[in-house]
């Protein structure tokens, strides 16, 4: 890992990111229009904080996507 990346655990798998922006992670996963919840280090991140949230090296990120159906 070089100095320009951070490593996080995303839904149980280690990944490396070029940016520490949570918004950029969401955009890269094509989730901008999806209904989802995010937990970082066992704390829910309100949607109102996503745009300004900074990820840290070794953060544990869980993203749960809502699926409709009946």
pTM of the model: 0.87
How does 28-64 read in b/e, with b if 16+ C-beta sit within 10 Å? eeeeeeeeeebebeeeebeeeebeebebeeebebebe
Q: In this predicted model, what pLDDT tens digit does every residue of 46-70 receive, in sequence order?
A: 999 999 999 999 999 999 999 877 6
Q: 41: alpha, beta or left, given left = phi > 0 and alpha = psi -120 to 50?
A: left
Q: In this predicted model, what pLDDT tens digit does every residue of 1-47 receive, in sequence order?
A: 446 899 999 999 999 999 999 999 999 999 988 899 999 999 999 99
Percent of the chain at pLDDT exceeding 70: 94
Q: Which tokens sit at 42?
A: 């066992």
Percent of the chain at pLDDT exceeding 90: 83
């Amino acid at each position: 890992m070089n100095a320009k990346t951070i490593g996080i655990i995303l839904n149980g798998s280690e990944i490396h990111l070029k940016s520490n922006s949570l918004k950029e992670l969401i955009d890269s996963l094509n989730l901008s229009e999806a209904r989802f919840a995010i937990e970082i280090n066992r704390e829910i991140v309100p949607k109102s904080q996503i745009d300004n949230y900074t990820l840290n090296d070794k953060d544990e990120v869980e993203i749960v996507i809502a699926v409709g159906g009946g």
